[in-house]
Amino acid sequence: MVSFNDINNTILDNDFSVNRSTAGTTVSSSINQSDNTNTSSHAESLVTVGGTSGGDPFSRFNVSGTQSFTLGIDNSDSDNFKITDGASPSAGTEFLNLDTSGRFNYPLQPAFSAYRNASVNNVTGDGTSYTVIFDTEFFDIGSNFDTTTGLFSAPIDGIYIFTGSIFVQNIDNATMNVGNSSFSFTSGLHTYWGMNPANAEQGNSDLVLGGSCIRQLSAGQTAGMLIQISGGTLSVDLRGNATGQDTWFQGWLLG
């Protein structure tokens, strides 16, 4: 590696580049402050622009012809720090946005919120396990939720959190003894919660079951919600409405 010591140099009106085309070698640049005696002996890489009316200061990483990642300050968006796949922080798809107050979001982080738009009758009561079809979405970032099956498909390996609520009606307290609702996963694992309708207030035929869970899923695995009540006949109804307040299902990728 060629070293230049004790040189103060300003390159005016020109770009500076380091190029090599030798197979099996690494092209590198480094900034090294070798002093280890003073806490003010820093090493700094500084990228600046002229001011608020100028362009963006940034670094870009590129696999020629395939993929770019750019990180830097978007001068045109309140000086937010961003990671994008464009040629600058103000171009391309935005993956991370950090504002100057320290608040950040991931605009493409998978998340969904869905609900049952209308009631459906006679789904359980005799031990039948019914997969709830949440047929309407509040939102679905990444389009990973299917309103025809009621299932969320994990787009990548990760830790996911799910939460939901199921409202059932027409329960006969005299005959039915088990009320369960659960999250179901293609791995065969279930997370259950429930109550005994016979222990509820006599004459109250409504039951709300809800809960949450955290699961590690592999890409392609699915998650949904089930309802099962036993001890009677197939007469228990699932309540839904257009506001999405009764029977709903939500989930998002934690990381």
pLDDT band at 44; cut points 50, 70, 90: very high
Average pLDDT, the chain: 86
The 10s digit of each residue's pLDDT in 4-20 is 544 455 556 677 788 88
Per residue, the 3-state secondary structure of the chain, as one string, reads CCCCCCCCCCCCCCCCCCCCCCCCCCCCCCCCCCCCCCCCCCCCCCCCCCCCCCCCCEEEEEECCCEEEEEEEECCCCCEEEEECCCCCCCCCEEEEECCCCCEECCCCCEEEEECCCCEEEEECCCCEEECCCCEEEEEECCCEECCCCEEECCCCEEEEEEEEEEEECCCCCCCCEEEEEEEECCCCEEEEEECHHHCCCCCCCEEEEEEEEEEECCCCEEEEEEEEECCCCCEEECCCCCCCCCEEEEEECC
The full set of domain ranges for the chain reads 58-105, 111-253
Residue 199 in this model has a pLDDT that exceeds 50? no
Residue 202 in this model has a pLDDT that exceeds 60? no
The 10s digit of each residue's pLDDT in 154-171 is 999 999 999 999 998 887
What is the pLDDT, as a whole number, of residue 12?
61
Domain 111-253, second-level architecture: Sandwich (2.60)
Q: What is the pTM assigned to this prediction? A: 0.81
